[in-house]
Structure 1
Amino acid sequence: MEDTAQILRTELRQNDGDLYLCHLFVPTAHRFRMLALYTGYAEIARVPAQVNEPMVGAIRLQWWRDNLEVGADPAISSPVAAALSSCEFPADDIARLIDARMPALERSEPSDLASLEAEATLAGPAFMRLSLAALHQDARALPSWVDDAGIGFELVRLAHLGNTDSVMTRAQTLLGAARAGFNGLARQERAAILPAFLITGLTARFARRWPRQDLLLRHQFRLLVSALRGRI
């Protein structure tokens, strides 16, 4: 498993630095599950940007569906798909991560806020539920701000595909609600789910400071502070 984990860490560090940093704060018992989820998420999310033809992208997304629906064979599948499949995450939420990338394959011009939020609403809440599942926590026990966290997270990542300022403003609102909800929990409740929400805090800060950007060292320091304080 350690060899696979090293492959996944390398992939994630290259494809999504923020998720890579956040996975480092996951307890050892759950870290491989979160690493598999984050790496799979990043790989699937990149598909539309990697292709020039919608059909090619659709084929790649179907490859992910086929591998994750029937269980990836480690002998012939990619290490990422095999690891994600081995974690036995809820199939419906995995499918949502894949389906949410379909609209981007046909996008030929900037999207309006409503369209981008529809995409974010398909992928974001599923991503948060899966993140909680990686910790063996049940998202159904938490309020609707969990969905806000996921939608806001996705909107920030989709903002360049539309009117960036309006998308970021909407993301700020959603992420602010998620932060307030999380930070309002009792300390023990926060501690149990904090690793899944570190990315929420990191993304919320990015959205608040837009269009300014923190230096990488400050970005990393803010994440460390959140992890130590137990607040986002």
Structure 2
Amino acid sequence: MTTDFDHAADVVRQFDRDRYLSALLLPESLRPGVMALYAFSAEIARIRELVSEPLPGEVRLQWWRDLLEGTEHGAAAANPVANALLQTIETYRLPRQGLVSMIDARVFDLYNDPMPSLNDLEGYAGETASSLFQLVCLVLNDGKEADTATAAGHAGVAYSLTGLMRALPWHASRQQIYVPADIQGRHNLDPETVFRGLTTPELKAALAEMCGHVRHHLTRVKKAATDVPHNCQPAFLPLVLVRPFLEKLEAPDFDPLQQTAEISQLRRQWILWRASGRVFDRL
């Protein structure tokens, strides 16, 4: 019989393969709760793809907000991801505000407004990816607080920025760009050239700066790793894929608008498996 948690795992497998593969390496008893969190993240992240204009997207996000705040009037029982999420919140006593903040951050995705600054981008990454790392740590630690916030904060920025650079062709095709305006300005990047699919030296310079920020945050994660309890460390498994993706993005012949930085699923599984016992050594 298929459960709500089985459905949540299917959502993660379909829409967030890297996190799905990493979750398979977690202790079996903890896997359902982690999958529920990943499924929630995937569902709110893909709302832009399900709507033709921002207002219906805001309505969908409001449904999730109402669900978490206890004011949802629709049939939550008909949504297996919602059910799995609510059960996970109750089992591990998870703070709902972190999940609500994830929803609030995703409003930005519905519009084509420019990301104002690197600081704003890091804030966006903190509310989405960093919060998710932190919540998974709570599940792995049976709902108990641990000293994981610093590592989770930097991990989320590194993971999110890498994902956004990999998604550049996709975002550009819909007239959206997550390269912050201050980085664009430093390298004289005209976003219109990005929307036209033109890979310019200015774009490559801007992305090189972003890659540098990713590497900086990976270094900060490793410095904070000594504070992370051993049982929470598997929460950071998805992060070990960042460096291999960076190598693709930084290759001299890589075209960031015509290609997607990709590695095979077999290699991803091998990287994750190899790192499963010593995550921070593989960053």
Structure 2 portions without partners, runs of 5+: 169-176, 180-205, 251-260
Which of the two has greater helix per residue?
Answer: 1
For residues 108-139 of structure 1, the C-alpha deviation after alignment (integer angstroms, 9 at most, x for no partner) is: 45765343223112223321221111212545
Aligned mates of 2:33, 2:3 — CA distance in 1: 15
Distance in 2 between the 1:102 and 1:62 partners?
10
Deviation at 1:13, TM superposition (A): 0.8
Matched, 1:148 2:154: yes
Q: Residue in 2 aligned with 1:206? A: 245
**CA RMSD, aligned part only?**
2.7
Instruction: Give, as a single letter, the amino acid of the residue that structure 2 aligns with 1:155.
Output: L
Distance of aligned partners of 1:84 and 1:108 in 2 relative to their CA distance in 1, 3 Å threshold:
same
The answer to whether residue 118 in structure 2 is matched with residue 113 in structure 1 is yes
Aligned length: 228
Does the Cα contact within 8 Å between 2:134 and 2:149 map onto a contact in 1? no
Q: If you compute each CA radius of gyration, which structure gives the higher value, 1 or 2?
A: 2
Query: How many angstroms does 1:141 deviate by?
Result: 2.0
The 1:55/1:75 distance shift into structure 2, 3 A limit, reads closer
**Residue matched to 1:176:** 219
Spell out, residue by residue over 1:134-171, the C-alpha distance to the aligned partner (whole angstroms, 9 max, x if none). Answer: 21254552362321012222222333333371333322
Return the alpha-carbon distance in structure 1 between the equivalents of residues 124 and 149 of structure 2. Answer: 21
Once the two structures are overlaid, the 10-residue window that deviates more, 212-221 or 134-143, is: 134-143
SS in structure 2 opposite 1:12? helix
TM-score by length of 2: 0.71
Q: What do the CA deviations read for 1:172-212 (whole angstroms, capped 9, x no partner)?
A: 22123213432x469xx33x112211012223432354255
The structural deviation recorded for 1:14 is 0.7
- Residues 67 and 24 of structure 1, relative CA distance in 2, 3 Å threshold: same
Q: Output the TM-score relative to the length of structure 1.
A: 0.85
Gaps of 5+ in 1: none
**Contact 2:33/2:139, CA 8 A, preserved across alignment:** yes
Residues in 1 aligned to 2:49 and 2:122: alpha-carbon distance in whole angstroms: 19
**1:129–1:138 Cα contact (<8 Å) kept:** no
Residue aligning to 1:87: 88
Change (3 A) 1:150 1:227: same
